[in-house]
Structure formats: structure tokens, C-alpha cells
Structure 1
Amino acid sequence: MTARVLVVDDQPANIKLLEAMLNAEYFEVVTASNGPEALAVCARGLCDLVLLDVMMPGMDGFEVCRRLKQNPQTAQLPVIIVTALDQPSDRLKGLEAGADDFLTKPINELALITRVKSLVRLKTLTDQLMVRASASSELGMTDPFDGAVASGDHGRILLVEDKPSRRSRIVEGLAEAGHRVDAESDPQEALFRIAEGPYDLVIVSLDLDGFDGLRLCSQIRSLERTRLLPILVVAQADETHRLVRGLDLGVNDYLLAPIDRNEMLARVRTQVRRSRFMERLRDNVHLTMEMAITDGLTGLHNRRYLERHLAGLVDQAAQRQRPLSVLLLDIDFFKSVNDTHGHDAGDDVLREFSRRVRRTVRSMDLVCRLGGEEFVVVMPDTESRIAEMVGERIRERIAAQPFLIEGGERQLAVTVSIGLSARSGRGDTPETLLRRADEALYRAKREGRNRVAAAVA
């Protein structure tokens, strides 16, 4: 794994030491000797993670971290504070500033490298989602950076802990801070509850009786639904090797027993905030993908979706020697609707037309809007004779009742012409099927419209 790490320290000897550790693991290192210089490097996107000293002249590390986390452009940049300060109050101050971790000097090289690798993996995943979500702005959707500094309050948390006294202390501490906490002592039952969710965070004790807490963490990471769910583990102070292993497995953060309440709240708040931001990004990506294949006016799949999936349906029908039929629909005299009543009325007709078609065909049939007033229905496992009956049923349903326009104030009679083609079994392609359906459609129009015409294979 390679990444660019920014080391910020005003002492050249400290920079050299950290640089040597990171270079040995093939990380690229950039350096800064003060806060403003570090902020400038981060603003230009020149690093993937920041190792930040606290005691620096002018702007200290806490303030640098606070500014990074308050800027939507750098809020998701992982920050590890590295300092000689080792008091609980110092650790809390760093976590409240938004730091992802707080390591004290002298630095344990194994712990440092493992933590860096874990956070770099998270940064890589976040970057990938950000790139995909950025396409949303081109589609007129919300900028993915909006809300980058999400709230970490009132999280939904599952605690997996079988020690009654520790469980009650954690639950009470989190509940007092406004989080909603479910507690579970059985790890297998916990896995079912996590999968059913939704949770912002799961807290797992590593010293569960008769069960390895790391195995539960691994199981959480193996499920598609929970693969990105933040995991915070509770470990004993002498379990460094298990923590390192946990970070390798994808654990996001940890607490050492005995648990400091304020540190727990700070770490939980950070993980809940990150969970919500990642969820926002995933929703943005899914919506962007949906918009890319969906017609915004009718809610049907669009031409792009048809082009990508019709070939697969045709191939599948050929391999299984099954029938497949295609209906090409064109609303009669639609141009006159727009010219006479306006485009809003035309949109009303298109939406209602789509609803009637969808209600007429099967759920397994693929209904797409090609553009304008043209639509396609692809019907797997359907012979030409049955498809013609379905086409006739669509035609009747469209013509049976007038369409309401202008907010229901006026009615408009609408008819449709339909061309039909079916797989002939002689090397048909999507293009040949659509071409024959198009030829049949034009014949239906020439013969007087408001009818179904079948192509001759």
C-alpha cells in the first residue's frame, strides 16, 4: 500500500525519525515545519494522511487539526497527533479537535505503521466514493462536499459486551450524551442485529467469554451490508498485538480499559460523524447511478439502460432457446399535444402513459423510454402471439380513458401505435430486433395508427 504522508514537526530530528519509519514501508513523505505550511499542503491535496506534532511555535497542532476538520475540503483527511504529551486531558483535547488518533512519544513503530495503513485504506475508500459522487453535481444534484462536516451526535450504536459492569458504564455514558445504545452479550445474536441495522457504530469488546472479538469484527467486515460500518473495539492495555491485528482486519478505532468516559465520547462522536458522511456519499453515488439509467420524467429506464441490458437478454434467450419479444410504442400525434396544449400537458401525457404501460405488463418485462414519445417493452420468455395480445391490451388501455391535463381541468384522447418483433432463432441481435419492431411500427402508422403490427421475421 502506498500513500503520501505529511509529517508536521518543528524539530528536524523528529521529522527524520518518522520519515525513516515511513520510507521503510514505502510511503512517500512530505514535510512541514509549522501549522500554516501544513494547512497549505493539505489545501492543495498533496497528502493522504497527516502526522501532526502538537508543540509548535505560533499555531499548535490542536489548532491545525481543528482547522483541517472544519474545512469541508479537508474534513475527511486522516490526522494522527504525535506528541510527548501523555495526559488524558491532552488526548481528549486532540480527539475533540477531530484527530483520528493520538500517539505518544517515543513512537512504537509497529503501532504507528499499522495505524497509518488502516487510515490510508479508509482514505482510499472515501476518495473513491467522492470521485463517484462528484458526478452528481454534473447532474444538478447536491454537491458531495455539502455536509462533509457531519454531526456526530445522537448516534445509533450497538455494544457487544458480556461483562455486566463494563456494559452498564458504557451504556450509561453514551446514553447521557444522547446516543441510542443497544447492548448485546451474545456475539452471534449481535451479528444478526448488526445486519438488520441500521447502526452508525458497533463497539466490540475483545475479551468476550468463549469468543474471539476479532472474529466478530472479521464477520462484520465480510458482510456486504456492514462492510463499511465503523467498528470501535475495547481492549486491555497489554493487548497491543491484538489491536494491531484488529486494525489490519479493518477496525476503525479502539479504547483501552479502564475506559475514560470523555475519551470514549470523543472517539464515538468521530466515528458516528464519519459513518454518516460515508452513508451520505454512498446514497449520493447510488442516486447518481440511478439517474444515469432512469428517465427523470417518467421514472422508466432510459435508452442507456436498454442498450446495456437488451444484449444480455437476447444472449440469454439464445443460450436457453427461449422466446423473446419486443414492443416498440409511439404515441400518436404527440407533437400536436405539445403544439396545442403546451409542454406541461405533454409531460402529463407521458407520465400517465408510462403508468398505464407499467400496470399492463409483467414485473419481469423491461419498460424503457427511448426518448420523446417512443417507448420499448422487452418481454423475456414471450412468444410473438402472446406479445401481440399484450400489445393489444396496452393499446386498449391507452385508448379506453382520456388523459387528464392542466391539473385535471381538461381531458385529452390519446392513442398509441405499436410495432412487434420476436426472436426468430436465426442469429438475432438487439439491433435486428429493434429494426424489425421499428418497421412494424411504421406499418401500423401507415395503416391508420392506433393498432398493433407484427414484423415478419
Structure 2
Amino acid sequence: MSVQGTILVLDGTSTNRIMLKVQLTAAWYHVVQAEKLDGLAGLLRRTRPDLVLTAQSLPDGTAAEVKKLVAADPDLADVPVAAIAAQNDKAARLKALTDGLDDVITPPFKDSLLLARVRSLLRARAETQELRIGSGSQPIGFAEPATGFTPAQKPARVTVLTQSTKTSALWHKALSGKTRHALAAHTCSNLQGLLSGPLPDAIVIEINPKALSTLADLRSRVGTRRTVLIGVLPKDGAQLAADALDRGVDAICQSGSCADEVALRLENQIARKSRLDQMRASLYRGVAESWIDPLTGLHNRRYAMHAMDQIARRSSQANKGFAVMLADLDHFKSINDRYGHVAGDFVLTEAGKRLERAIGSAGFVARIGGEEFLIGLPETTQSGALSIARTLCDCIRQSPFSPPDNRKLVQVTISIGLIATKPQKSSVAPLDGLIRSADSALYAAKKAGRNQVRVRQCAA
């Protein structure tokens, strides 16, 4: 049997635990059972559950205490905890959501809706896990694990989306006094109006059979695929609620629009979205920074090799030639020795800026080590590349460098080795060989007196 995840069921009543275990095991989940808060910390460490379902009241504690205990473990901080509350107990639902529980489940546990809620909660956890780096336990951008929910720093844009303008107006009025977020209203028939303006951070949508296609549409669009979706069912309907969860709503409110419950679910889900957005932005920054040389702000060797590979492939597809240059600042060690490393760092940074300005959109410049730069030029000829290389020499030589806190101007020159390929539709030129050839040409430029360009002829 394939196990799809581990679910911890906490309940002081054995029949409740057994009933949930039977349903969850039939869906290929591994179920761990416990009846009280005592000993839970050790059980969590041993079992590492993917989801916790807990009775709102335990013999020695509450669901809120379970949530705090789970969140206190950095390795489990993103594990969702859902409370099990009595049916039609509105106060219990609101209490659980106020305490930061991720969802509230009420008996009787119909298979379709129970499993849909479980799948939704596990998807939410998987999304968070995907934003973690390697095996690190902390989410990127967070020094401490999150506990409960943290309100977003600024009001979000929330749209009420219903079948009729009358219902939209009623929901808008009911929510306006319950939430700090900016509210707007649309009907499902005017989805284009919602999508044409500033996109909302969250949508409260009236759920009926017709709305299921709208949910799929919203989840498939780039602009709304990460928008919070809160589904509201005017009447009980387990299968419709399950279908809505499987179509991507983040939370479901049954038995009509309770403004207090909708407002709490909005606050919880918007706060979660805010955390994920921060983690995602941090991850993207980390990826971008892995391609950047921290001193000069230019691309680094890792980027350069990837970019040259792309240039080679695209030039081959277009039946065009391309060029590779290796450039090295002349006598750079003597600059460091005479003026100091601060001045040397300034010269490197300023040289990088000059080279980048001179190249413009014609190619890219990367610092690949020490005082050495690699320049890639797509879809060019040898004569065109040679003209650019001479411009690069001029932009370094013609204006002396003026390091801060240094009264003397520093005269700097650069040597460049160049190799340009000829159009070759049939194959991609070996990149390692081209770089070695450019390096040989650079050595020749150095040997010939520096401050010049040398060209190595391409065999291809």
C-alpha cells in the first residue's frame, strides 16, 4: 500500500479516533493516534506528521495549545493543524479560527468532504515546503518559526464574487464592518471586469455548480493563481464543498455567509499568503544573487557559462556567428600594492561599469575571477567583435580612475583576447575550446605589450 502522508489524530474519545483512522487509512494515509496533550512533543518528533487533526477540547488541553506546540518546532512549523468542532457550533468554529487553527472540521465526517479538506491542507503545506532551501528547517527570510497567524502589514484588496449584484451588495455590506481590507464586488458573469483592473489579493466567491469552472479559470491564470480563494456555500452541500476544495479554494464556509467566519478566514489566509510571498521573494533574490558578483555587481562565472551556452545554441539555430572575449586589467597587482586594496576594489568596480556601458545591449559582461572579465557577443562577426573590443580598450585607457580618499589618479589599461565563430548551422561550437582559445589570445596580447586586442582564428 502506498502511503500518501502521515496524519496525527488527537482526540480523547476513542470512537472518534477510530472512525477517522478508518476513513483516512482507506485513502492510503498513515494515521497516528493520541488522546491528550501530555507526551505530544515527543510523539511529534518521532512521527513527523504532515497534518494534525485535533479535537477542540482534549482531556488536558485545547486545539490552540496543540497548534502552539506544533508551531514551536522549527521542523514542523508549517504543518497545518485543523480543529474538530461540534456540528453547527458557530462559536466553536470562530474560536478555532481566532486561535489560528488552519481549518475547522465538523462531524459527521463524509468521506468526500473530509478527504478534500485533507488534500487541501496537505497542498498548502507542500507549497510552503517547496520554498525551503535544501534541508534547512527555517523558511527563507524568517529567523523564527511562525506561530498562529500574523496579520498582513497593510490592507489587502478583497473582491466579493457572487452570482447576482444583490448578493454582492449584501455580502459587501456585511463584510465591510468586519474586515480591515479594501473591498470590491463583482458578479461571476462579469469576470472580465475583475481581471481587467488591479488584481485582488483575495476573492470571496459564492459556490454553486456554475462557480466550479470559475474556480478552475482563476487558478489557471498567471495573475490569480496565487490569489486567496474563500468559498461560501449558501446551503450545506458536502460534495459541492469537496469539489470546490479540489478546484483550489483555500478555505470553505458552509451553511451560508457568516461574515465573522469569512473575515477570520480571510485574515488567516491573507496572512499566510503574505508569508509565502515574502518567502518566494527571498528565494528569487537568492537565485538572482547566485548569478551576481558581489563586488562589481556584474554577472559571475556561473552566469557567464550558462549565458555563453545559450548564445552558442541560439547563434547556431540562427546560422550566425558569435564571439567570446577574455579581458584582463593590466598590472592590477601593482595597483593594489601601490594604492591599496580599497583603491583596487574601486578600479575593478568602475572598470566593470565602463565595460558594461560600452557593451550595452550587444552582449554581456561577467567578472569571472580576480581582475578577469568574460564578454559574450551573440550573432556577430569577427570584424564587428573586434571593433567592440577596441572600444572596450579605449573606455578603460582614455579616462584615469579616481579612487575615493586617493589624491592620485590611477591610469589603467586592459588586454583582450578574442575569438569569433563562423556561422555553423549543423552543430554548436565547443564552448570550453573557444574559451581556451580566447585565453590564448589574451596571453598573446599580454606578451605583445598589453593594452591591446589579439584575435585567435576559429578553426570551425
- Conservation of the 8 A alpha-carbon contact between 1:41 and 1:47: no
Counterpart position of 1:454: 455
How much does 1:240 deviate?
Answer: 3.0
TM-score, structure 1 normalization: 0.90
Alignment size in residue pairs: 448
**Could you tell me which amino acid in structure 2 is paired with residue 383 of structure 1?**
T
1:41 paired with 2:43, answer yes
Match of 1:129 among 128, 131, 143: 131
Taking the aligned partners of 2:314 and 2:174, their CA distance within structure 1 comes to: 57
Structure 1: gaps (5+ residues) = none
How much does 1:72 deviate?
Answer: 5.6
Query: Which has the larger displacement, 340-349 or 387-396?
Result: 340-349
**Could you tell me which amino acid in structure 1 is paired with residue 450 of structure 2?**
R
**Could you tell me which amino acid in structure 2 is paired with residue 357 of structure 1?**
L
Counterparts in 2 of 1:216 and 1:144: CA distance versus 1, 3 Å: farther
How much does 1:8 deviate?
Answer: 0.7
Taking the aligned partners of 2:317 and 2:235, their CA distance within structure 1 comes to: 61
Query: Which has the larger displacement, 434-443 or 98-107?
Result: 98-107
- Conservation of the 8 A alpha-carbon contact between 2:74 and 2:138: no
Counterpart position of 2:193: 189
- Conservation of the 8 A alpha-carbon contact between 1:328 and 1:376: yes
Match of 1:79 among 73, 78, 81: 81
Structure 2: gaps (5+ residues) = none
How much does 1:282 deviate?
Answer: 0.9
Counterpart position of 1:444: 445
Match of 1:398 among 396, 417, 423: 396
Counterparts in 2 of 1:67 and 1:204: CA distance versus 1, 3 Å: same
Counterpart position of 1:214: 212
Counterparts in 2 of 1:398 and 1:170: CA distance versus 1, 3 Å: farther
How much does 1:156 deviate?
Answer: 2.7
Counterpart position of 2:368: 370
How much does 1:142 deviate?
Answer: 4.3
- Conservation of the 8 A alpha-carbon contact between 2:415 and 2:450: yes
Deviations 1:278-305 (A, max 9, x none): 1111112111111222212222221112
Deviations 1:141-189 (A, max 9, x none): 8456566766324333233235445434543455443212233332122
Counterpart position of 1:300: 298
For the residue of structure 1 that corresponds to 2:61, the secondary structure is coil
Matches within 5 A, 1:342-381: 342-363=340-361, 365-381=363-379
How much does 1:100 deviate?
Answer: 2.0
Matches within 5 A, 1:9-20: 9-20=11-22
How much does 1:106 deviate?
Answer: 2.3
Taking the aligned partners of 2:186 and 2:115, their CA distance within structure 1 comes to: 33
Taking the aligned partners of 2:171 and 2:335, their CA distance within structure 1 comes to: 66
Counterpart position of 2:150: 151
Match of 1:266 among 264, 267, 274: 264
**Could you tell me which amino acid in structure 1 is paired with residue 150 of structure 2?**
S
Matches within 5 A, 1:419-434: 419-424=417-422, 428-434=429-435
Taking the aligned partners of 1:294 and 1:405, their CA distance within structure 2 comes to: 23
Taking the aligned partners of 1:398 and 1:307, their CA distance within structure 2 comes to: 24
Match of 1:411 among 409, 412, 432: 409
Matches within 5 A, 1:106-145: 106-131=108-133, 134=136, 142-143=141-142, 145=144
**Could you tell me which amino acid in structure 1 is paired with residue 234 of structure 2?**
Q
Query: Which has the larger displacement, 154-163 or 83-92?
Result: 154-163
1:327 paired with 2:325, answer yes
For the residue of structure 1 that corresponds to 2:254, the secondary structure is strand
1:232 paired with 2:221, answer no
- Conservation of the 8 A alpha-carbon contact between 1:149 and 1:273: no
Counterparts in 2 of 1:300 and 1:449: CA distance versus 1, 3 Å: same
Counterpart position of 2:52: 50
Taking the aligned partners of 1:76 and 1:23, their CA distance within structure 2 comes to: 23
